[in-house]
């Protein structure tokens, strides 16, 4: 049992690291301002995904290896599942905009 004590501890700290997230969004706005803008396309790109573990003893190495390999293997699936969520969130924010008011303010400044 004393040997396992050095392998597994009850406390530790884990950190998540994402190298970068790039989003390219194409929006479409009809000339009729009464119609809302829509997301015409979205492309996401994720950088390297990593997990840092400290305090779990030897288990740190196993956790880091597992969590640093698996997400990177499924990067495309992660992106494909995130795109509709991000697209919907952007459309929800676009619905809050009053485009006529924004255009009138810009025209007044000129």
Give the C-alpha separation, 41 to 83, whole Å: 9
CA 52 to chain CA centroid, Å, is 18
Domain that holds residue 56: 2-109
The pLDDT score that the predictor gives to residue 44 is 92
What six digits make up the tokens of 91?
A: 């459309």
Rounded mean pLDDT, 86-103: 90
Over its C-alpha atoms, the chain yields an Rg (Å, rounded) of 23
The pLDDT score that the predictor gives to residue 6 is 53
- Per-residue model confidence as pLDDT tens digits over 33-84: 888 889 999 999 988 877 777 776 667 777 777 777 777 788 888 889 999 9
Looking at the DSSP bridge assignments, the partners of residue 49 are: 18
Residue 72: name the closest of 62, 64, 84 by CA.
Answer: 64
The pLDDT score that the predictor gives to residue 40 is 92
**Count: domains in the chain:** 1
Give the C-alpha separation, 33 to 31, whole Å: 6
Instruction: Supply the DSSP symbol for 34.
Output: T
Q: pTM for this structure?
A: 0.64
What six digits make up the tokens of 69?
A: 């390999």
């Amino acid at each position: 049992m004393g040997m396992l004590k050095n392998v597994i501890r009850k406390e530790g700290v884990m950190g998540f690291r994402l190298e970068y997230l790039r989003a390219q969004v194409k929006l479409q706005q009809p000339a009729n301002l009464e119609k809302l803008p829509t997301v015409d396309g979205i492309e996401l790109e994720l950088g390297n995904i990593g997990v840092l573990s400290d305090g779990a003893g030897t288990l740190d190495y196993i956790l880091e290896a597992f969590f640093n390999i698996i997400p990177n293997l499924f990067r495309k699936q992660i992106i494909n599942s995130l795109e509709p969520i991000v697209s919907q969130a952007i459309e929800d924010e676009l619905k809050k905009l009053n485009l006529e008011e924004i255009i009138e303010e810009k025209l007044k400044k000129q």
